[in-house]
Amino acid sequence: MLNFIRHAMRDLKGTGAIAPSSPALAERMVAPLSAMPGKRSILEVGPGTGPFTEVILDALRAGDRLDICEFNDGFCDHLERGMLSRHREARRPGDIRLLRGDVLAVPLEPSYDAIVCGLPFTNFQTPVVHAIFGRMLSSLRPGGRMTFFRYYLVRGAQAPFIGTRGRARLRALAHLEAAIGREHALHTEVVLANVPPAVAVTVTRSTDPNTSTAPWLA
């Protein structure tokens, strides 16, 4: 917790939260992995101090591959020194890569079975959000599942205080989620046991080869 607060104070825009995600939210974000049989290829984007990473590591099986993409060097060092080194030293299952850098620039696999994303999308400009979602969806295999989250009711609470541009950005995020939901299966679940309460969103990529991975551009 102290490590999270230290980095949040240095980089509030990049961190995008006032507290680490709760165990309840982490369990919900990682839940789609349990329904996937056999060996799995997994991508985590924006792990921060690793509340989702820890649950993913516990769920790894022999033959699984996990890529972790994090832009913040401090968080990368924290992850490597802590849970990743311990996981490797214990020779627990999974082939793990820590990708330091922007998700739009690092080398990703072409077809992940699951993607878990903890990025603070309400802090990013709309074109950046579109580009990130496009990269993630295009890197997800047909039938694969991607999870991300947003804070419950925070958009409405923010609206009076963030100005015209901020409100436009919030509307654009809502439209993006709706566009994804029209092309791919989308399920939402409210997680009250988080500060603040959150909505976990699961996207199952369509198996139709004609379905767009950037439906917001249509």
Please tell me the total count of domains within the chain: 1
What pLDDT does 151 receive? 84
pLDDT value at residue 4? 37
pLDDT averaged per 10 residues, the chain (length 218): 40 50 95 94 96 96 97 95 93 94 96 96 90 97 96 62 67 92 97 92 97 90
Mind giving me the DSSP string for the chain?
Answer: -HHHHHHHHH-HHHH--SSPPPHHHHHHHHGGGGG--S--EEEEE--TT-HHHHHHHHH--TT-EEEEEE--HHHHHHHIIIIIHHHHHTT-S-EEEEEES-TTTS---S-EEEEEE---GGGS-HHHHHHHHHHHHHTEEEEEEEEEEEETTHHHHHGGGSHHHHHHHHHHHHHHHHHHHHHSEEEEEEE-SSSS-EEEEEEE--S-TTS-S-GGG-
Whichever domain contains 163, its CATH number is: 3.40.50.150
What is the model's pTM? 0.88
* 102: containing domain: 2-217
